[in-house]
């Protein structure tokens, strides 16, 4: 794969529009988390979801060590939350209100909804891993807000056809 064009691949994959989530955990009572688009609903029986953390993430090992993670689905007016959670280091949660979900992981104020999970398995996958979560609790908190979308490196909101 010496001549594989990584930039072209990244740009091509950017054509797959996704929502944006914040994956959170709480280690030694400290909230930890990061922004992610690699979230997918995986299984109904049992209820499973998956998330793909990068191996360079400094937050994922802390979330992993907490044994659970909470997926916070962002609304279109929460780009500032995404920006803060995509930065490495510092207290990412200082500017935001949150309450603990059943696992103790933060549920951020104003999110469209959340899925709180126990970490069921983690599979190796190149420069990422595939983290599988068993759903313990979930809720949709806002019917009035469009989701934050990520497409070709830009943010947008959903417009029904
Ligand atoms: C829109 C968007 C989507 C992202 N998706 C992922 C993702 O799926 N997996 C991941 O590990 N990092 C993803 N990141 C990067 C992380 O948010 C973050 O920058 C990275 O984990 C470094 O922070 P950390 O050291 O605190 O973990 C994404 C960032 C943005 C802005």
CA dist., res. 62 & res. 88, Å (int) = 13
Whether 3 is covered by a domain: the verdict is no
Q: At residue 2, does pLDDT exceed 80?
A: no
Q: Whose CA is nearest to atom 26 of ligand 1?
A: 88
10 contacts: CB under 8 Å, gap ≥ 6? none
How far, in Å, are 122, 128, 138 from residue 117 at the CA level?
13, 19, 9
Digit-coded pLDDT (tens) for 61-82: 999 999 999 999 999 999 999 9
Task: Output the CA 5–ligand 1 centroid distance in Å.
Answer: 22
| Residue 34 beta carbon below 6 angstroms from any ligand 1 atom | yes
Instruction: Look up the CATH number of the domain holding residue 145.
Output: 2.30.110.10
pLDDT of 1 reads 59
Instruction: For residue 108, list its beta bridge partners.
Output: 98
| Residue 58 beta carbon below 6 angstroms from any ligand 1 atom | yes
Whether 37 is covered by a domain: the verdict is yes
Q: What is the mean pLDDT of the chain?
A: 97
8-state DSSP, 79: H
Task: Output the CA 37–ligand 1 centroid distance in Å.
Answer: 8
Whether 6 is covered by a domain: the verdict is no
Element (H, E) at 23: strand 21-27
Q: What is the pTM of this model?
A: 0.97
Whether 99 is covered by a domain: the verdict is yes
Q: Whose CA is nearest to atom 23 of ligand 1?
A: 88
Alpha helices in the chain (DSSP H): 6-13, 60-66, 79-85
C-alpha Rg value of the chain to the nearest Å: 16
- Top mutation candidate among 16, 18, 27, 35 for ligand 1, by most atoms within 8 Å of CB: 35
Whether 53 is covered by a domain: the verdict is yes
Whether 142 is covered by a domain: the verdict is yes
Determine the structural domain holding residue 71 and report its residue range.
20-152
Instruction: For residue 123, list its beta bridge partners.
Output: 130
- Top mutation candidate among 13, 24, 34 for ligand 1, by most atoms within 8 Å of CB: 34
Whether 132 is covered by a domain: the verdict is yes
Task: Output the CA 22–ligand 1 centroid distance in Å.
Answer: 9
Instruction: Label residue 21 by pLDDT band (50, 70, 90).
Output: very high
Q: Please state the φ and ψ torsions of residue 126, each to the nearest 5 degrees.
A: 60, -125
Whether 10 is covered by a domain: the verdict is no
Number of domains in the chain: 1
The answer to whether 84 touches 24, Cβ cutoff 8 Å, is: no
């Amino acid at each position: 794969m010496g001549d594989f064009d990584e930039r072209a691949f990244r740009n091509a994959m950017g054509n797959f529009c996704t929502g944006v989530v914040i994956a959170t955990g709480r280690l030694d009572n400290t909230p930890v988390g990061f922004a992610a688009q690699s979230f997918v609903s995986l299984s109904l029986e049992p209820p499973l979801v998956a998330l793909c953390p990068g191996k360079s993430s400094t937050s994922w090992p802390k979330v992993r060590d907490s044994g659970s993670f909470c997926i916070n689905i962002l609304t279109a007016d929460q780009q500032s939350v995404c920006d803060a959670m995509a930065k490495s280091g510092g207290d990412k949660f200082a500017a935001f209100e949150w309450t603990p979900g059943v696992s103790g992981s933060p549920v951020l104020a104003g999110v469209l909804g959340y899925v709180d999970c126990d970490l069921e398995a983690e599979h190796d996958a190149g420069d990422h891993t595939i983290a599988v979560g068993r759903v313990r609790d979930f809720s949709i908190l806002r019917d009035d807000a469009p989701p934050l979308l990520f497409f070709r490196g830009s943010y947008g909101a959903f417009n029904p056809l």
